[in-house]
């Protein structure tokens, strides 16, 4: 079965957006805020990339589950 990947690496996100439009530091900040960590890998859900490209990141902020920070 050919299933579409739902998690992307930070570098994949940069390539898809355009490395000249999304810098490395900004991409990692995006991944830390909206991504998931699997082991040492930091991955970005496809829906986050779609929201970024469509200018809907504010919507993700509203629906994002609370993360307790001390």
User: How high is the pLDDT of residue 3?
Assistant: 54
Model pTM score: 0.79
Specify if 23 maps to a domain.
Answer: yes
In the chain, how many domains are there?
A: 1
Specify if 2 maps to a domain.
Answer: no
Q: Which residue in the block uniquely carries the two structure tokens 């998931």?
A: 36
Specify if 70 maps to a domain.
Answer: no
Specify if 69 maps to a domain.
Answer: no
38 phi/psi in degrees, rounded to 5: -120, 105
Q: Cα separation of 70 and 55, whole Å?
A: 30
pLDDT tens string for the chain (70 positions)?
Answer: 345 789 999 999 999 999 999 999 999 999 999 999 999 999 999 999 999 999 998 888 777 666 544 4
Range of the domain at 26: 7-63
Specify if 21 maps to a domain.
Answer: yes
Tally Cβ neighbours within 10 Å of residue 43. Answer: 19
Q: Which residue in the block uniquely carries the two structure tokens 């929201």?
A: 51
Specify if 54 maps to a domain.
Answer: yes
User: How high is the pLDDT of residue 66?
Assistant: 63
Specify if 16 maps to a domain.
Answer: yes
Specify if 45 maps to a domain.
Answer: yes
């Amino acid at each position: 079965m050919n299933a579409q990947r739902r998690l992307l690496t930070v570098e994949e996100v940069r390539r898809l957006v355009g490395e000249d439009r999304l810098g490395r530091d900004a991409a990692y900040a995006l991944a830390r805020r909206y991504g998931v960590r699997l082991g040492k890998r930091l991955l970005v859900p496809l829906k986050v990339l779609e929201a970024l490209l469509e200018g809907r990141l504010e919507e993700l902020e509203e629906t994002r589950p609370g993360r307790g920070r001390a």
